[in-house]
Amino acid sequence: MKRYSALALLKAGLTGQRGWDRAWRDPEPKKSYDVIIIGGGGHGLSTAYYLAKVHGIRNIAVLEKGWIGGGNTGRNTTIVRSNYRQKPLHDLFDFALNLWEGMSDELNYNVMFSPRGALFLGHSDSDMTMLAQRGDALRCDGIDAELLSRDQVQKLIPLLDMSASARFPIHGGMTQRRGGTARHDAVAWGYARAADALGVDVIQKCEVTGFTMDGGRVTGVETNRGSIGAGRVGICVAGNSGPVAAMAGLKLPIEAQTLQAFVTEPIKPMIDTVIMSQSLHCYISQSDKGGIVLGGDPDQFPSYAQRGLPARIEKAAAEAIALVPALSRLRMVRCWSGTTDMSFDGSPIISGLPVDNLYLNGGWCYGGFKATPASGWCYAHLLATGASHALAAPFAFDRFARGATIDEAGVGFMPQLR
């Protein structure tokens, strides 16, 4: 594989951009693999990469029914942060954040991770106390968090409505300076290219249609391109976990919901950090191309339609304008939908299943992108060793039956309330 570098780019510029290798091969499926990962999103591809890189397993296939990165990897708002209140969550996501920091070099692919800060606004004293509580939980666990005064927030984002009469007056905020955004497609492509270089077969247009079983044990998968045997099979299809698990006769504590996002026409830099809110479910950032990327509430009912409720977009727009009034004249150029795997406590599942040799990585709700490297790391550990990585141990499938849920929002088992 030809390495990417400024020098290589310069040379290519002088030779008409000829001579670049394919970023990944287009292999035919083999008869069998040591590990098959179902799902060629960021999580599945990073799992394959770490299986090969960390655990030395090379006989791996990633099966993708469409094109890699075409699911939620390519549909999210690209926010990366680790500032969750619950310890198992912030430990996992901070492990991810550490990997994000070195990802471009690790993969030799610029994923444009840009730690420009992830700011939560507080709109009342009680919001500020909740933010402080979260910040304190993070700081006591060695994770960066910083409370900002009203003035500091204003300095950071001069276009915020700081008036006392604002519908959501701004009392201050909490920022994680290591947080930021990354280029979502590049994450899938970077992992695919790096995994491919280690011998992983990334097989697109290969849809899994069933599992081959032997006495309650999974021995491989059926696909539209034939049967493929496998030592272990890892489901990694967040958004579609239910239907895939159903092929093995399983029901999951997961429901699919639509989450929409939208982007404005590109404009010159106006927002330099990621803006979120303690009270509002609205998030705002500006992409490197200049578009303001916005998101809001999920659609709050089960759907795979990838077609959302206009009311959700309208609400997110109204909230964004309430925070940053100058956004009002900007125009939405495109909105899109992802199908989220809404788990019943709001936290992911990285776990074995009641069927031998079958594993699940899913239930990421609307927050999976930022976990990509840690998710892959931990899932690779599980698929390589059969045992949970310490960071993933709390995210076991049986935690719901045991009562050991990890409920960041404290709203219980109804995903539409999250």
Cα gap 297→74, rounded to integer Å? 18
Q: Smallest distance, Å, CB 384 to other proteins?
A: 27
Give one word for 199, left, alpha or beta, with left for phi > 0 and alpha for psi -120 to 50: left
Q: Smallest distance, Å, CB 186 to other proteins?
A: 6
Q: What is the dihedral of CA 14, 15, 19, 24, to 10 degrees?
A: 50
Q: Smallest distance, Å, CB 399 to other proteins?
A: 8
Q: Smallest distance, Å, CB 308 to other proteins?
A: 8
Interior angle at CA 95, CA 245 and CA 263, nearest 5: 70
Contact indicator for 228, 62 with CB cutoff of 8 Å: no
Report the first-to-last Cα separation within the chain, whole angstroms: 44
Q: Smallest distance, Å, CB 130 to other proteins?
A: 7
By C-beta, is 200 or 380 nearer to other proteins? 200
By C-beta, is 179 or 232 nearer to other proteins? 179
Q: Smallest distance, Å, CB 356 to other proteins?
A: 20
By C-beta, is 32 or 306 nearer to other proteins? 306
Cα gap 82→115, rounded to integer Å? 12
Cα gap 10→394, rounded to integer Å? 48
Q: Smallest distance, Å, CB 294 to other proteins?
A: 8
Which amino acid would we find at residue 88? P
Contact indicator for 332, 262 with CB cutoff of 8 Å: yes
Question: Cβ-count burial of 55 within 10 angstroms (0-12 exposed, 13-18 middle, 19+ buried)?
Answer: middle
By C-beta, is 174 or 384 nearer to other proteins? 174
Q: Smallest distance, Å, CB 29 to other proteins?
A: 18
Beta bridge partners of 275: 119, 284
Q: Smallest distance, Å, CB 33 to other proteins?
A: 21
Compute how many other C-beta atoms are within 10 angstroms of the C-beta atom of residue 288: 11
By C-beta, is 387 or 404 nearer to other proteins? 404
By C-beta, is 231 or 267 nearer to other proteins? 267
Q: Smallest distance, Å, CB 328 to other proteins?
A: 4
Cα gap 175→415, rounded to integer Å? 27
What stretch of H or E contains 153?
helix 150-156
Residue matched to tokens 């000829």: 18
Contact indicator for 78, 187 with CB cutoff of 8 Å: no
- Backbone dihedral angles phi then psi of residue 274, each to the nearest 5 degrees: -85, 125
By C-beta, is 32 or 393 nearer to other proteins? 393
Cα gap 165→98, rounded to integer Å? 40
Q: Smallest distance, Å, CB 211 to other proteins?
A: 17
By C-beta, is 168 or 395 nearer to other proteins? 168
By C-beta, is 213 or 336 nearer to other proteins? 336
Q: Between the CA of residue 60 and those of 195, 202, 280, 316, 385, what are the distances in Å? A: 9, 9, 42, 41, 15
By C-beta, is 141 or 214 nearer to other proteins? 141
By C-beta, is 76 or 286 nearer to other proteins? 286
Q: What is the dihedral of CA 272, 278, 281, 283, to 10 degrees?
A: 10
- Backbone dihedral angles phi then psi of residue 359, each to the nearest 5 degrees: -130, 160
